[in-house]
Structure 1
Amino acid sequence: MNRSFKIYVYPHRKDDPFANTLVPVNYEPGGNYASEAYFKKALMKSHFITKDPSEADLFYMPFSIAALRHDRRVGVGGIPAFVQAYFHNISHTYPYWNRSGGADHFYVACHSIGSTATRKAEQVKLSSIQVVCSSSYFLTAYVAHKDASVPQIWPRKGDPPTLSSSKREKLAFFAGAMNSWIRMDVVKTWRNDSEIFVNSGRLTTPYSDALLVSKFCLHLKGFEVNTARIGDAMFYGCVPLIIADHYDLPFADILNWKSFSLVVPSLDISLLKKILHGVSLDQYSTLKRNVLKVRRHFKWHSSPVDYDAFHMVMYDLWLRRSSVRIPINIQDSVI
């Protein structure tokens, strides 16, 4: 992949009225949805970029959902119309879209509103690769195996803690807003438990302290299946426990999630303690050891390093470049 994979980025004029949504990222990304900006920043400085479209494996549509969301001329409601206009422009200005029906094109979006971006551009939704954080089998906009799931990661400076002195005194931990029935059910069921610590809303103590003293850290579906909690858990050496039905987990076609996490159906919330007590000491040790091995794949860097989140996304795209479907004109085929 490192030697041969090439991506062509659609150019834009400097005086384009929406150049701000297309330009390379020149700031340090931050917040819950930083993955989109980190990827774009890293890609534009990488050796994967080619200025020769004839040697490109994939074509990148570099509009930023995050930038469009905050642009007063577009806003959340105007994103589908913008994507429709963008698609119309590139498909009529350049020949590359029609060469493959858009199957070798992709865009990246981490915010959940990205799932509505192609509402007015069916060709993009059905053909192009959508690299998104909101990767739910339940969403009609997301097509598993064609699209790719990117992790939602809260940026952190420096290396992860060594964890040599951390004592895992709590069996499981969760804290967050009550914005889904799964979260409300978990808190209602376990709020008075002595081993499973759950809290509705923000903690009065540091969030990192709770992650460091817990064996399992719960990832519970909120408004969408994705949150930054999986990355949070792994950064602090806590085994992710995922209760988010229909979630196409990030890098699922690369990593074996069963080796470093537990995935529990929402119907088994009342059995949570029984399930966790059923994990033997040896099994837990293996899970934790693997968490420490794979957490480098869930970290962004200002300058990418081998096997980090950027290279994992690139590998996901590289895998998909071989499944691009070139439409055949039925009139030209032999029956």
Structure 2
Amino acid sequence: MNRSLKIFVYPHRRNESFAHALLPVDFEPSGNYASEGYFFKTLVRSHFITDDPSEADFFFLPFSITALRNDPKRYVSEIRRRYPFWDSSGGADHFYVACHSTGRSAMSKTPEVTVNAIQVVCSASYFLPGYVAHKDVSMPQIWPRKGAPPEVRSTQRSKLAFFAGAMNSRVRQQLLVSWVNDSEIFVNRGRLPTPYSEALLSSKFCLHAKGFEVNTARIGDAVFYGCVPVVLADQYELPFSDILDWRRFAVVVATVDIPLLKEILHGISPEEYEALHGNLLKVRKHFQWHLPARDYDVFHMVMYELWRRRGAVSLPLPATAADA
């Protein structure tokens, strides 16, 4: 992949409203949707970029969600008018990246993008229309954190499980009702009075419960702090799930089984937990962004997902006079 994968980025002038995402900026991405910004910044610094579209495996659509949300069809129409590459594949070798759900919602108004192009998105849900498993790519939502991940042994983690966040979904409300007053599973409404990192570092398991979307930064937080993720989000395609075996470093629990959560977690033997925790530390490098990119980090995992999809869709060539 490192030697062969090539990406052509559609060029845009500074005064064009469609795509300013790749213009140079001095600040690093931050916040819940930093993964989108990190991808843009990392891609343009990478060796995967080519100026020759004839050698490109994929064509990147570097649009701005803010400018695009109200008129995505015009963006695609402009690309098709100015370049021949979309029509030559029907868009099957094109991709865009969006961590905010607005990106997916905007593109849902353009069926040819949703059906044909590869959508690299954080909000990867089987339940919502528009996401196509095995064609599209689930990218982790990562809250950027400075420095190396902390090393806290599993034996130093005194709490069984932890969650904190707004009660903005049925799943979180069910979690609160079931475990709000428990002495082993700590469920907190809203912000903590103490540092969030301390709760992550002192817990064996960290709960990921869907909010407005199936994705949150909590899985990335849990991985960074070495807390085994417990995923309570039905129909969520976990990031890189066709590459990583999540069963070896996380626990996936159906939301209907939230009342049985303590029984399920206590059913994991100490030896099984040590294996989960050890494997979690091994995969942490796949859930970190770096500028510039480092081997096996989030950026390279996304590139590998794309590389696996090259040539997956091939359209018949148009008939010529000689074929008649």
| Pairwise TM-score range, normalised by the shorter structure | over 0.9
Distance of 1:290 and 1:316 partners within structure 2: 21
Structure 1 stretches of 5 or more lacking a match? 69-73
Paired amino acid for 1:61: L
Write the distance in 1 (CA, Å) between the matches of 2:43 and 2:3: 15
Question: Which 4+ stretches in 1 moved above 4 angstroms?
Answer: 327-334
In structure 1, what is the equivalent of residue 141 of structure 2? 152
Taking structure 1 as reference, are residues 118 and 89 closer, same or farther at Cα in structure 2, changes over 3 Å only?
Answer: same
Distance (whole Å) between structure 1 residues aligned to residue 322 and residue 264 of structure 2: 56
One-letter amino acid of the structure 2 residue matched with residue 182 of structure 1: V
1:284 alignment partner in structure 2 = 273
Query: Are residues 180 and 333 of structure 1, via their aligned partners in 2, closer, same or farther at CA, if it must alter by over 3 Å?
Result: farther
Aligned to 1:71: none
Q: Provide the C-alpha distance between the structure 2 equivalents of 1:201 and 1:332, rounded to a whole number of angstroms.
A: 68
Q: Which moved more, 1:9-18 or 1:294-303?
A: 9-18
Mark the CA change 1:102 to 1:233 in structure 2 (over 3 Å): closer, same or farther: same
Q: Secondary structure at the match of 2:229?
A: strand
Query: Quick check: 2:18–2:64 contact (8 Å CA) kept in 1?
Result: no
Which secondary structure state, in structure 1, belongs to the residue aligned with residue 107 of structure 2? coil
Q: Distance in 2 between matches of 1:222 and 1:119?
A: 21
Q: 1:211 aligns with which of 197, 200, 223?
A: 200
Partner amino acid, structure 2, of 1:52: D
Q: Is contact 1:300–1:310 with CA below 8 Å preserved after alignment?
A: yes
Instruction: Confirm or deny: 8 A CA contact 1:8 1:60 kept in the other structure.
Output: yes
3-state SS of 2:221 partner: helix
Shift in CA distance, 84/333, structure 1 to aligned 2, threshold 3 Å: farther
Q: Give yes or no for the alignment of 1:186 onto 2:169.
A: no
Measured after TM superposition, the shift of residue 322 of structure 1 is 2.9
Q: What is aligned with 1:176?
A: 165
Aligned partners of 1:39, 1:21: CA distance in 2, in Å? 10
SS in 1 for 2:59: strand
User: Are 2:275 and 1:270 aligned?
Assistant: no
User: What residue in structure 1 maps to residue 312 of structure 2?
Assistant: 323
Preserved CA contact (<8 Å) 1:26 1:41: no
Q: Residues 23-102 of structure 1: matches in 2 within 5 Å? A: 23-65=23-65, 68=66, 74=67, 79-81=69-71, 83-102=72-91
Report the Cα distance in structure 2 between the residues aligned to 1:332 and 1:157, rounded to whole angstroms: 61
CA distance in 2, matches of 1:322, 1:281: 45
213, 228, 238: which one pairs with 2:227?
A: 238
Normalised to the residue count of structure 2, the TM-score between the two structures is 0.95
Q: How much does 1:222 deviate?
A: 0.4
Name the SS of the counterpart of 1:117 in structure 2.
Answer: helix
- Percent identity of paired positions between Structure 1 and Structure 2: 62
Q: Distance in 1 between matches of 2:87 and 2:19?
A: 24
Q: 2:236 aligns with which of 247, 259, 262?
A: 247
**SS of residue paired to 1:242:** strand
Match of 1:226 in 2: 215
CA positional deviation for 1:332: 9.0
Amino acid at match of 1:50: T
Q: Structure 1 residues 216 and 19, CA, compared in 2 at 3 Å: closer, same or farther?
A: closer
SS in 2 for 1:8: strand
Relative distance call for 1:333 and 1:290 in structure 2 (3 A) is farther
Checking the alignment, whether the CA contact within 8 Å between 1:39 and 1:310 is kept in structure 2 is yes
C-alpha separation in 1, matches of 2:32 and 2:260: 30
Residue type at the aligned position of 1:158: G
Q: TM-score, normalised by structure 1?
A: 0.92
The offset of 1:25, in angstroms, is 5.0
Cα distance between partner residues in 2 of 1:331 and 1:47: 37
Alpha-carbon offset, residue 123 of structure 1: 0.7
Tell me how far 1:165 sits from its aligned partner.
8.9
Total equivalences in the alignment: 324
Cα displacement string for residues 204-261 of structure 1 (whole angstroms, at most 9, x for unaligned residues): 0000000011010000000000000001001111000000000000001110000000
Per the alignment, in what secondary structure is the counterpart of residue 54 of structure 2? helix
Is 1:122 paired with 2:134? no
Letter in 2 for 1:211: L
CA pair 189-36 structure 1, distance change in 2 beyond 3 A: same
Report the Cα offset of residue 330 of structure 1: 8.1
Higher mean C-alpha deviation, range 16-25 or range 194-203: 16-25
Q: Structure 2: where are the runs of 5+ without partners?
A: none
Distance 2:150 2:17 in 1: 45
Query: What CA distance in whole angstroms lies between the structure 2 residues aligned with 1:188 and 1:106?
Result: 41
1:108 aligned counterpart, secondary structure: strand
The answer on whether the counterparts of 1:24 and 1:44 sit within 8 Å (CA) in structure 2 is: no
CA contact (8 A) 1:22 1:64 kept: no
CA distance in 1 between counterparts of 2:26 and 2:73 reads 26
- Superposed CA RMSD: 1.9
Kindly provide the CA deviation profile for residues 268-320 of structure 1, in whole angstroms up to 9, marking residues without a partner as x. Answer: 01110110010000000000000100011001112111101111111111111
